[in-house]
Amino acid sequence: DDDDDDDGSAGGSNARGVKTLSVELEDDEDGDLLTQIPACVAFIQDALRLRDANRAAAAAAVNDDDDAEPAASSSAASRSTRGGDSRVPGGALVHCHAGVSRSCAVVAAHVMKTRGVDADDALEVVRRAHPDADPNAGFTAQLRLWRSMDCKLNMADEAYRLYSVARLARRREHRGYVDATDVQPDPGADVVDDSCADRFAPFTGSATVAIKVGPRHGGGPEAGTMIRCRRCGRLVARGDR
């Protein structure tokens, strides 16, 4: 379930035992699909494993009834081996408001993860079943980044850092400030003492600091100077000068 009507990612189940996952994500090129992908893909994989297990159990039950009702059993087994009885529980329904961008991007991410293909090939697979699939350009770029990280969310990856910083820069340009909740912890940063900086103060444009980082934190002579945000400690840039 990929919808923007709920506040935040949340899971649950209804009275019929159907599990749900709701994701807050607008169909906007700057929407942060990337950090939502792992939970969505894991949810789909769990649902498909349940479906396969239920199909296997149903097939085994049919085989156990062979002696009692051979004709009926043969017919049921035939249906199972040709694609499964539609009454067997399991599977995943992925949807959004229009069924074109968000949900299709999530399904493409699942295809990339399970088949080891790139974004374009995954979208082609999705379009064979759903010709209208057309994720926006921002989501497609995030799928390519997902692939470059071997279909894992690696926050220490340099490309992911650049993606995060670029998103923060666009948010600041649009709103004039960056919320503390917009900034995720930098896995390579030292712990920052909250008492030394007001995280909720308006961003002034001067909250950066140039520091030398040792090899233990990925620095060393070849790393040069690393520029980190003075408020949150996130790596902003690095260079020799």
pLDDT single digits (tens) 111-133: 999 999 999 999 999 999 999 99
Residue 214, helix vs strand vs coil: coil
For residues 180 and 108, membership in a common domain is answered with: no
pLDDT score for 215: 47
For residues 57 and 20, membership in a common domain is answered with: yes
Q: Which domain holds residue 84?
A: 10-148
For residues 227 and 110, membership in a common domain is answered with: no
pLDDT score for 230: 65
Band (153; pLDDT cuts 50, 70, 90): very high
50 located within any domain: yes
CB atoms within 10 A of CB 137: 8
113 located within any domain: yes
For residues 105 and 30, membership in a common domain is answered with: yes
For residues 140 and 222, membership in a common domain is answered with: no
SS3 of 27-63: CCCCCCCHHHHHHHHHHHHHHHHHHHHHHHHHHHHHH
Environment class of 64 (CB within 10 Å of its CB; exposed 0-12, middle 13-18, buried 19+): exposed
Residue 67 half-sphere exposure toward CB, CA atoms < 13 A: 1
Please say which residue of 128, 148, 168 terminates a domain.
148
61 located within any domain: yes
Indicate the DSSP class of residue 132.
Answer: T
Residue 67 belongs to what H/E stretch? none
Express each pLDDT in 73-86 by its tens digit.
Answer: 444 333 434 444 55
For residues 120 and 233, membership in a common domain is answered with: no
For residues 42 and 86, membership in a common domain is answered with: yes
153 located within any domain: no
Q: Domain with 121 in it: what CATH number?
A: 3.90.190.10
For residues 140 and 21, membership in a common domain is answered with: yes
For residues 119 and 218, membership in a common domain is answered with: no
For residues 27 and 82, membership in a common domain is answered with: yes
Residue 196 belongs to what H/E stretch? none
Report the domain count for the chain. Answer: 2
Over residues 149-156, mean pLDDT = 94
Express each pLDDT in 188-198 by its tens digit.
Answer: 444 444 443 34
Indicate the DSSP class of residue 6.
Answer: S
**Dihedral sign, CA of 165, 21, 108, 134?**
negative
223 located within any domain: yes
